[in-house]
Structure 1
């Protein structure tokens, strides 16, 4: 029997694997193996993601075969970030867990509808239990509150710069070491950005070069 699953636009191999796991494996069980004798590069990525999804699902099923966790509307949950695409300027600003998010309702026996931020309109709000974790059981350092959302600049999302820390020339181009708003207490989250990326905090850039005129700046010779 054919099964039709709606999808929006183009999806990645990881998202396709997630669809297989959520709509097929959870209802029909896991396949014994995934066989293909002629696999092109794109298909190979899908195959690998499917195999990875099967392993994750089997690991969860073996560990939680008895009774799935039961959360109530209003409960706060952490959400695994592995399938969430963010517009953060670098992976250094990403967390393994996001949230916490409020439970709206339970979907079936193994999924929950979560209340997501308004700027996450493109993210499907229903998640399998293996992707969520209750807040009260979280004591891991990389379970973090979401930083302030990106601001809109000419209808485009843009993460706010908190401070410019340093500057350098790299391949005849000016770069700045940036501290991002919402991550000021974590020095490991600072990133080097080309000057062309910092067009909207001009005062911060100007203030830095006023304080440190000896550092490479917009007027430094780049020969």
Structure 2
């Protein structure tokens, strides 16, 4: 659906794709486009965005997930369970994002612990990390993908947090899932699909025979090649 916290009020095309996974009817496309166009929550909380200007020397495209990531902080949020900031980490290949509640006063050691707990333990150590301090002046595209994710996350929280805005940290797991299940404009696939090679499922689990490892490896390489080609498009 469009309004569900698991969806996060996506745009027309993303909502249509989400609904098509489970339903179909004759005037479905127009009805969904009209519904999203007149969504009051979206009208109040979403801004228009233009495409950023390209780099003279764009960063090289990673060959796979978890090779290069970008990091940024969203700060000065209302206190929520003692947190007032969010550490946003984005994988440059898959566009998979991780949202971690924290505080701007954390030390380098605290940041390292967060990184080990949330990134290293699940995805190993990336070859390179892009942070705001390392981004080139007047070339925000070196860090632009994380800033765009920040905007999407802030819009999501505005949709669902309480009137007092003191519960945003409880919404971060849902926001992370909603973002990662939505198609990305660069890869043409969702971050979830790029990493796991399937869309998230909500129906009953069906146990099937294992796919032969050779076919699985070939399929994985095809998906990664497709993602790299899509990332090269203007």
TM-score using structure 2 length: 0.24
Structure whose CA Rg is larger: 1
As a proportion of its length, which structure holds more helix? 2
TM-score using structure 1 length: 0.25
As a proportion of its length, which structure holds more strand? 1
For CA contacts below 8 A with separation 6 or more, give which structure has more relative contact order: 2
